[in-house]
Amino acid sequence: MARVLQLADELRANVSYAVLVGLLLSALLGGLAMFTDATRPLPLLLSAVVVYGGLHLLLSVFMILKRADRCSCSCEDGPTRI
């Protein structure tokens, strides 16, 4: 039972972190959409930050899915693996 509680706590922390990254990325993209000239491409540094943020968010979501699967399989009443 302690292992399930630890996995649930790690899952909660991962979800909170992914929400924070998503909000920061949304604020960055919203700011870029409002305050930059849409006829010119973004500078290389800003493009790299946007791509890094998007990939980081995607990898965080994959980590959440992995932890949710492990948490559900660690429960005594949860699904069994074949």
What pLDDT sits at residue 76? 56
2/81: higher pLDDT: 2
Strand, helix or coil for residue 42: coil
d(CA 44, CA 46): 6
Residue 73 pLDDT grade (very low, low, confident, very high; cuts 50, 70, 90): confident
d(CA 36, CA 4): 47
Are 32 and 71 in contact, with CB atoms under 8 Å apart?
no
The domain ranges of the chain are 2-74
What pLDDT sits at residue 2? 82
d(CA 21, CA 15): 10
At 4-59, the pLDDT tens digits run 888 889 999 999 999 999 999 999 999 999 999 989 999 999 999 999 999 999 99
pTM above 0.75, yes or no: yes
